[in-house]
Amino acid sequence: MKRGALSLLLATLLAACGAPAPDEDAPRPPRLPVPMEVAFDDDGRPLPEVLADEQVLYRGNGEEPQTLDPHLGEGVPTANILRDLFEGLTTTAPDGRIVPGAAIHWDISRDGLTYTFFLDPDGRWSNGEPVTAHDFVWSWRRVVDPTTGAAYGRMLAPVVNAEAIFSGELSPEELGVTALSDTSFQVQLDDPTPYFLGLLTHPTTYPVFRPALEEHGSMHVRPGNLVSNGAYRLTDWQVRSRIVLERNEHFRDADNVIIERVVFYPFEDENTEFNRFRAGDLHWTYQVPSAQFSWLKSNMDEALKISPWFGTYFFSFNLTREPFEDSLALRQALNLAVDREIITERVTRFGEMPTFNLVPPGLPDYEPYEPEHAAWTQAEREDEARRLYRQAGYSESQPLTVELRYNTSENHRKIAVAIAAMWKQTLGVRTRLINEEFRVFLQNRAQRRVTQAFRAGWIGDYMDAFTFLELFHSGHGRNDAGYSNPRFDRLLERIASERIPAKRRNLMVEAERMLLDDQVVLPVFYYMIRRLIDPRLQGWDENIMDYHLTRHMYLVKSQAEEVHDGESEE
């Protein structure tokens, strides 16, 4: 089918599924507040007279978190909350730079194998007790303990003995971490790890307050029980309604935290979130409806923030059951039948870059492997897809019937509809779309009992290709495809131990090539950050990791409020 005809069919299908045509029935533009010009004191803090009287931040945050245990939490929305509640040894500045966190400084040995972190002596838990090196020792041992079930536990794989602990050969007490004193925490690595300091900003490496967990068990994450060491503390959690955090008066830098309260709302429907922002109920959205791009650019450009994100949107196959377990040709056919340009031009529409790769561009000294079919025309890809489909044993009279899962989201639904339409038109595949609430979706993916093809995606945890490749290690907690290739696992081990940057880079390129050749994933596009930000919210800076800590932000008055205040004073 020609590209124009497929675009028309796709538009028809999206409309039939209840999605509005792009920019039709566009809402009236809201009146965005014009912020006051910010003046600062000698210490670089905003002057009190420009600050809004109420320092309460209201933000949309995607899916409902499964848990607020930093060692068990999964997904970007959960991480957003955890970064406000907790603090790792390192943290990030508004522009994404790695800066001291719970550790005010550190020493690295010449061979790169020993890191000694010196904790801020003013570090306190939200109950006022000191944060100590012993807290980190206990917490990291908990992360690598197989009985904990930490989804991202392998992030600590560079630490001495971590691999043997994962496999059950050693106890967690053998992990290469030591409390030299109450404020000195030392880590021994198996090999130099260039991204190690960036890794420490991830919630998996955060400390957990042991007495609270031992007293309350899994309920230690509930309001009144959760003890955290970040800028905020948990005060309310109404499931599917809101999560409220209050400023932690015991935080080591509490004097410089301006926003007093942050309220997270779990919006799975982008249109609902968009309307709440237009009504003035939100300062910050998690995402925006794809169909409204042109209207937003014309009417809310001051609030619209679009920038590259270090992540890839892809689909994956369950390699542990039919029909994909032993059918490389079928996976190849489905991959080639997808027209990425139509998806990014007609469906997502916010400047996303179509891709056939897993690792995003922009990393220094890393050129991703490019599959041969990336240089073909879409017509050539579709011809090859039909050949491979027949080779896999399917035809028009004997079509593949497959389930394609995605989590609740209008944007995810539109992309799934597009994929199904392309498979149908090019190959005759009959696709059943299954929409699941995020928690159920993740659980089904991890268990691999019912999944066939499913939506996936990954935002890098640190600026290195390894954060994408290690997902598919046979022992990784988020290897939902069930990919198990001893050669690939050995390749990851070589990457982890390689000390020569050029050789390490070449090994990572080879690992990505292996993943793509085995058709483990169906890459679609590189992510773009898409947010609506109230102009009165200051301290929100674009950065490719999309890390934004509330402690760096503040709300200023609008010019209208300034006039009103002046009239009141007269």
**β-bridge pairing 521-532 and 56-60:** unpaired
- pLDDT per residue as tens digits for the range 422-461: 999 999 999 999 999 999 999 999 999 999 999 999 999 9
User: Tell me, what DSSP letter sits at residue 37?
Assistant: P
Q: How far apart are CA 285 and CA 37, in angstroms?
A: 23
Is the pLDDT confidence value at 19 over 70? no
Which pLDDT score, from 0 to 100, does residue 476 have?
92
- The rounded mean pLDDT for the chain is 92
pLDDT score for 548: 96
DSSP character for 360?
P
- Segment 231-252 shows an average pLDDT of 97
Quote the pLDDT of residue 23: 47
Res 297 pLDDT > 60: yes
**Average of per-residue pLDDT across 135-163:** 96
pLDDT tens readout for residues 368-416: 889 999 999 999 999 999 999 999 999 989 999 999 999 988 899 999 9
Q: What is the pLDDT of residue 569?
A: 38
Query: What percentage of the chain carries pLDDT values higher than 70?
Result: 93
Q: Picking from 91-95, 165-169, 294-298, 478-482, which range would have the lowest pLDDT averaged per residue? A: 294-298
Residues 487, 510: contact at Cβ < 8 Å? no
User: With 80 as the cut, is the pLDDT of residue 180 above it?
Assistant: yes
Give the pair of three-digit tokens for residue 441.
């979706």
Mean pLDDT confidence for 79-103: 97
The number of CA neighbours under 13 Å toward the Cβ of 16 is 9
Residue 180 contacts residue 187 (beta carbons within 8 Å) = no
Of the CA atoms within 13 Å of residue 253, those in its CB half-sphere come to 18
User: Is the whole model's pTM more than 0.85, yes or no?
Assistant: yes
Residue with the two structure tokens 């972190």: 117
Q: Which amino acid is at 533?
A: I
Asked if residue 120 lies in contact with residue 104, where contact means CB atoms within 8 angstroms, the answer is yes
Q: Report the distance separating Cα 179 and Cα 498, nearest Å.
A: 28
pLDDT tens for residues 77-88? Answer: 999 999 999 999
Beta bridge partners of 179: 185
End-to-end CA distance of the chain: 71
CB 146 within 8 A of CB 166: yes
- pLDDT higher for 223 or 36? 223
pLDDT at 120: 98
Residue 27 clears pLDDT 70, i.e. is over it: no
Strand ranges (DSSP E) for 86-241? Answer: 90-92, 98-100, 103-108, 114-119, 177-181, 184-188, 232-238
Q: 226, 212 in Cβ contact below 8 A?
A: yes
Q: Nearest to residue 350, comparing CAs of 304, 310, 290?
A: 290
Q: How confident is the model at residue 11 (pLDDT cuts 50, 70, 90)?
A: low
Q: With CA atoms as reference, report the closest residue to 13 among 461, 365, 430, 422.
A: 422
Exposure of 242 by Cβ count < 10 A (0-12 exposed, 13-18 middle, 19+ buried)? Answer: middle
* Cis previous bond, 323, omega within 30: yes
Q: For the purposes of burial, counting CB atoms within 10 Å of the CB of 387, is it exposed (0-12), middle (13-18) or buried (19 or more)?
A: middle
Strands 98-100 and 103-108: unpaired
Instruction: Please tell me the predicted confidence (pLDDT) of residue 25.
Output: 52
Structural domains in the chain, CATH included, are 3-16+311-528 (3.10.105.10)
- pLDDT band for 151, please (50, 70, 90 cuts): confident
342: pLDDT strictly greater than 80: yes
Higher local confidence (pLDDT), 477 or 116: 116
Phi, psi of 351 (to 5 degrees): 85, 10
Q: What is the pLDDT of residues 512-523, one digit of tens each?
A: 999 999 999 999
Does 26 score more than 70 pLDDT? no
Which of 339-343, 437-441, 476-480, 559-563 is most confident?
339-343
Tokens of 213: 């967990």
Q: Which residues pair with 558 in a beta bridge?
A: 35
**How many Å apart are CA 512 and CA 113, to the nearest integer?**
26
Q: How far is CA 9 from CA 60, 343, 413, 421, 422, in A?
A: 33, 13, 16, 8, 10
- CB-based contact 550:297 (threshold 8 Å): no
